[in-house]
Amino acid sequence: MTITAILVLAVGTYAFRVAGPFLRARMVKAAARRGGATTAELPPRLTELMSTAATVLLVALVATAALTDGGSFAGVALPAGVFAGGVLAWRKVPFVVVVIVAAVVAAGLRLLGMP
Amino acid sequence: MRSIWRTLPPALQRDMLALAGALAVIGMSFGAIAVASGLDWWMPSALSVLVFAGGSQFMVVGVVAAGGGIVAAVLGALVLNARHLPFGLAIGDIIGRGKLARLVGSHLMIDESVAFAMAQKDPARARAVFWFLGTTAFAVWNLGTIVGVLAGQGIADPKAFGLDAAFPAALLALVLPALKDTRTRNAALLGAAIALATTPFLPAGLPVLLALGGLVVLIPAPRQTAEEVSV
């Protein structure tokens, strides 16, 4: 690991992060110009697309983090823990309980010797 | 900034602090693993301050520990972090409308702060949640990293506490309400299927980006078919 590597990763990551909000602000400006107003809302179809895209990414993160581990499919404990948490979340159990139960189920199954 | 935080209900603050506590433990394990992998003492903290994206930090350290090339490690980590661009498109207005807010807030963009902010219906509350969790997570992640570096091998494996299950479960709980919408749910399910199917073949990070292919379900059915039928 070198300082150059750390800086390249830092700058690249920040570039990805900062691009979104500034691109969105630009789109709002362009929409305002087209509408002849000083402030404008983005077309609902576009805002829907952007927020759905974020949700799709988050769900894909959940799916891969819950079911895979290092490129291959995960064992039993991890998916079972996430599944238990998911069921509780669906039953509208408080967030803190969801997180703790997911961890406890995964840790408990590992303690019992499950992969 | 403090004044907006006061508007956050105690239960919501508790939820975010619980997540921050789990992040602190992962930060400790990152610090410990990084020095065990041969990084200089200051490098884990440099990564945690400047990169502040756990998955990519573990990834570069892992590749270096395995004797892999540093160029490949950084490129792989950047692919993993590319998802922040679409995140920023979605929550740009939540972060803030001012230039300074956008410049600073962008660095606080992590999966958890994005998911927590998007789960709020009220825009003012979403902004308060984003900044509260973003700054808290940044603080505990960096404190955890320092503790991990100092404690070294003494830190237990977070898997023993099931923390690897806690984070996906937390994200799932946060996105679940958005999935009530049929179009969103269909896009997300197709996206997750794409990500899972490609995970065994592609480097980490790419499958999640490919999940965006699930957005095709948002394309409206062509009207032509109806016209063709009528002709």
Q: What ipTM was reported for this prediction?
A: 0.94
CA B194/CA A42 separation, integer angstroms: 29
| Apex A64 CA angle, A60 and A70, nearest 5 | 145
Please state the separation of Cα B176 from the chain's center in Å: 16
pLDDT reported for residue B223: 63
Q: Which amino acid is at A46?
A: L
Distance from C-alpha of A15 to C-alpha of B82, rounded to nearest angstrom? 9
**How confident is chain A (115 residues) per 10-residue block, as mean pLDDT?**
94 98 94 75 92 98 94 91 98 96 97 91
Q: What pLDDT score was predicted for residue B199?
A: 95
pLDDT computed for residue B221 by the predictor = 72
Contact between residue B102 and residue A21 where contact means Cβ atoms under 8 Å apart: yes
Helix/strand/coil (H/E/C) assignment for every residue in B148-163: HHHHHHHCCCHHHHCH
Contact at CB, B109 and A17, closer than 8 angstroms: yes
**From the list A8, A52, A54, which residue is nearest B114 (CB)?**
A54
Using a pLDDT cut of 70, give the percent of chain B over it.
94
The predicted-structure confidence for B127-164, as pLDDT tens digits, reads as follows: 999 999 999 999 999 999 999 999 987 777 888 899 99
Mutate to test the interface with B, among A62, A76, A105, A112 (most CBs of B within 10 A): A62
Which residues in chain B have Cβ-Cβ distances shorter than 8 Å to A20?
84-92, 106, 109
Distance from the Cα of B2 to chain A's closest Cα (Å) equals 23
* Largest separation between any pair of C-alpha atoms in chain A: 66
Q: Is A115 helix (H, G, I), strand (E, B) or coil?
A: coil
Specify whether the CB–CB gap between B31 and B147 falls below 8 A: yes
pLDDT for the residue B3:
64
B43-98 tens-digit pLDDT: 999 999 999 999 999 999 999 888 889 999 999 999 999 999 999 999 999 999 99
Residue B112 has pLDDT above 60, yes or no: yes
**pLDDT, position B4:** 67
CA dist B193 and B48 (Å) reads 31
Contact B134, B146 (CB under 8 A): no
pLDDT at B225 over 70: no
Chain A residue with the nearest C-alpha to that of B188: A56
Mean per-residue pLDDT over chain B, rounded: 92
Selecting from B15, B162, B178 the residue whose C-beta is nearest the C-beta of A102 gives B162
Please state, in angstroms and rounded to a whole number, the distance separating the CA atoms of residues B123 and B95.
10
Q: Which of B70, B54, B65 is nearest to B167 (CA)?
A: B54
CA distance, residue A63 to nearest chain B CA (Å): 6
CA A82-B126-B191 angle, 5° bins: 45
How many DSSP H helices and E strands does chain B contain? 13, 0
pTM: 0.93
| Contact residues, chain A, for B165 at CB < 8 Å | 66, 77-78, 80-82, 85, 102-103, 105-106
Q: How far is CA A60 from CA A56, A64, A107, B172, in A?
A: 6, 6, 23, 10
Query: Would you state the structure tokens that stand for residue A104, as one six-digit string?
Result: 């406890």
Q: What are phi and psi of A34, to 5 degrees?
A: -65, -40
Closest Cα partner for B78 from B55, B108, B110? Answer: B55
Confidence of residue B231 (pLDDT cuts 50, 70, 90): very low
What is the C-alpha separation between B47 and B14, in angstroms, rounded? 28
Interface test with chain A among B129, B157, B164, B189, by most A beta carbons within 10 Å: B164
Please give the Cα distance from A5 to A16 (Å, whole number): 17
CB contact at 8 A, B91 and B120: no
Quick one: pLDDT at residue A81? 97
Is the per-residue pLDDT at B228 higher than 90? no
Higher-confidence position of B174 and B220: B174
Cα separation, B15 vs A98, whole angstroms: 10
Using the beta-carbon criterion (under 8 Å), do A81 and B184 form an inter-chain contact? no
- Measured between alpha carbons, how far is B56 from B62 in angstroms, rounded to an integer? 10
Per the CB < 8 Å rule, is B187 touching A56?
yes
